Amino acid sequence: MWQGDCILIEDGSSAMLIDAGNPENGPDIVSYIKKLGINRLDFVIATHPHADHIGGMADVINAFDIGKLIMPKVEHTTRTFENLLLTIRNKGLKITAPVPGTEYRLGNTSFTILAPNSSSYKNLNDYSVVVRLTYGSTSFLFTGDAEQTSEKEILAKGYNIKSDVLKVGHHGSKTSTTTRFLDAVSPRYAVMCVGANNQYGHPAPETLSKLAERGIKVYRTDEAGTIIATSDGKSISFNKQPSPVNTSTNTGSTTVSDTKNNQNDTRDDITVYITKTGSKYHREGCSSLRTSSIPISLSEAKQRGYEPCKICKPPQ
């Protein structure tokens, strides 16, 4: 499992992407989005110029019709960043700078830019675009790699950051998710984009302890693979089970990208696939998924009234 951020948000026919992993992840990200039947991204946000956040962005920009592209005003002297700028120029796109307090609409969803709040930082991570998204009465906070300097600025501005779901900053590093910031967000759920056995020791035991002490359910990509949160405007459900409470770093664990391969998962948390208009759920690769392929947990598929496909005969 790779270390990097990539977050896709869908609301009906509208879609938005926040970051795009590493350069080698680009083709897989494009393939995943296309399988969902998406051909336009209304918003693309590159939180900051580190390669594990913008690496696959050039592939995404080349593959899709792009609405608004939001990037912070900071440069980085890497081939990955230069390639991204060249791709943007060749596509004829304009870069929109993030202005804190600005609100945008995405279908029936809205999101507000909360950071960066300064024009210059010592640490590139603090240039991260931070976004709070709301749908109905549910809310999500996406923090990129923002560290304590940016977190303090957000708190000082008095923005509403209380959110049901927190995308934990900087892969769970101890330099992010300060106590004051976490308490202000007061999330029920936390998602960590982190690679198995990564060289940085992410997530930090200190961060895991803070989350555990507050009873926050934690979902980690190094342990669960792709994590999908679904909101109906009132409540939020996940396609995977939360990680067991553990305040140590991940040393020697095995990455599990699909719950069907994890003996600790219940059968109803197997990932199945639905289409935008159909009434059946399917196994991955079923011929009925040609136009769209939307991953969902088996339990949620059954709760929504989907029936098993008679062709591919998925689990029941």
Q: What is the per-residue pLDDT across 180-213, written as a single tens digit (0 to 9) for each?
A: 999 999 999 999 998 887 777 889 899 999 999 9
Q: How confident is the model at residue 266 (pLDDT cuts 50, 70, 90)?
A: very low
pLDDT at 2 over 70: no
pLDDT of residue 255: 22
**What does residue 61 show for φ and ψ, rounded to 5 degrees?**
-65, -40
Predicted TM-score (pTM) of the model is 0.78
Q: What is the pLDDT of residues 206-244, one digit of tens each?
A: 999 999 999 999 999 988 999 999 999 999 999 999 988
pLDDT of residue 249: 45
Percent of the chain with pLDDT strictly greater than 70 = 91
Instruction: Supply 71's token pair.
Output: 């990037």
Q: Which CATH class is domain 7-257?
A: alpha beta
- CA-CA distance, 292 to 95, in Å (whole number)? 30
For residue 243, give the nearest of 181, 192, 174, 177 by alpha carbon.
192
pLDDT of residue 147: 95
pLDDT at 269 over 70: no
Mean pLDDT for the stretch of residues 27-41: 96
pLDDT of residue 281: 84
Q: What is the pLDDT of residues 122-156, one digit of tens each?
A: 999 999 999 999 999 999 999 999 999 999 999 99
- CA-CA distance, 117 to 98, in Å (whole number)? 9
pLDDT of residue 218: 96
Instruction: Supply 256's token pair.
Output: 């599990």
Mean pLDDT for the stretch of residues 156-184: 95
Q: How confident is the model at residue 312 (pLDDT cuts 50, 70, 90)?
A: confident
pLDDT of residue 314: 81
In the chain, domain spans: 7-257, 266-316
What stretch of H or E contains 262? Answer: none
What stretch of H or E contains 91? Answer: helix 79-91
